Structure 1
């Protein structure tokens, strides 16, 4: 079962999300909270696989909670929910360690699919959106040399996987392109995330872009 936390200050929104997720046989809502600090505490106290977090909550916003969850409950993957696709919020969420970003008008089937994908370690932003956000908001000026130094511990295969991650490919797509099993790709990805001190593949993609290793793919 995929254990999910819902954080939203609107009772009806929480109820609606729960109602949708209750239709999935492999998803269980284990906690509902109304602010960011409560979300962090709930993830710390329970085995939560996916946290769905509203951005605007009076008691503490969801993006700040993303960082707290990444720090205190690293097994939990966070997804930010918002009524508006504000690039600034997307960028903040990804920098804080979010695994994805969804609009609140996402359909029921898409929401369930997103929860499953994130629980499996896949990002839920489309590759072109990920690349656009990286290029517009997330790259740090003059970060090329520091980023290249961070790659020094990676093996050649890990570098190849990182290049594909930087291009926005999923684990399945990387497996096809590199003639690997999906499980092998996941193992390489896990190791390179540890070596780069990254929380998720989006942060790893930022390092790849800053290091300039996507040129000439």
Structure 2
């Protein structure tokens, strides 16, 4: 199935809407997530990678994903769950940490969450990938909060499954009006170094989070 993902990623660059239709773990999964209201648990994110300073998905794929989910969005800011889960599966951009989809298919993130290594493969469960990722990220945020940052009315929450060595990170942003919304989830190789860096930084939005000036919701 990894070959199928490679093929899907390549075709998504040319015809993203047809690609979503072709694979049940893409289009049909997004349909199921939208019907169940699962995207509401996620905040807003930019597709501009903070390290590369370039988008990790194309404008056509960005639009096709949000159309499929029934979410109004204006490039380059969209629903974080839609982009970080399904968009990252189809992203072909290479970052300093590898491809964005590696977090879902490599197995490391799942293990760090105490889950089977195939937990985040999109095609191995009846539940959608977004449903599984949302459950895992929520658990990490609920039980492993390490840092809270405040700026104005906005508060961000940084959770790590361990404070030393490799760990799963979950990040969320919270405001009085919309409450807590998940932004992203990924593995880190050195939790202690990351926490030290955060402590030395000024509070800020991290990991491509966007200001929740308007709530992206289903049409």
Give yes or no for TM over 0.5: no
Q: What is the TM-score when the length of structure 2 is the normalising length?
A: 0.29
Q: What is the TM-score when the length of structure 1 is the normalising length?
A: 0.29
**Structure with bigger gyration radius:** 1
Considering Cα pairs closer than 8 Å and 6+ residues apart, tell me whether 1 or 2 has the greater RCO.
2
